[in-house]
Amino acid sequence: MSTEVYIPAPKVLERYHISDMSLHRWLKNPELNFPKPLVINRRRYFLETDLIAWERARAAKAA
């Protein structure tokens, strides 16, 4: 049984060493294809598997 792990936005900011404004821009930029968050009570949560898949896609594109 797999469990879905959601990462809150502040941890995503730490993970990528970016500001909240940068995250906002990443989410608005369709070319980046950054994973969309789940919003609960105006707080953003990102599915960890989506972030890992995005990282791998970016790495493959760069190689």
- Give residue-wise pLDDT tens across range 18-49: 999 999 999 999 999 999 999 999 999 999 99
pLDDT at residue number 1: 55
Rounded Cα gap, residues 48 and 54, in angstroms: 10
pTM: 0.90
Rounded Cα gap, residues 26 and 18, in angstroms: 10
Burial of 48 (0-12, 13-18, 19+ CB in 10 A): middle
pLDDT at residue number 38: 98
pLDDT at residue number 27: 98
Residue 5 backbone class (left: φ over 0; alpha: ψ -120 to 50; beta: rest): beta
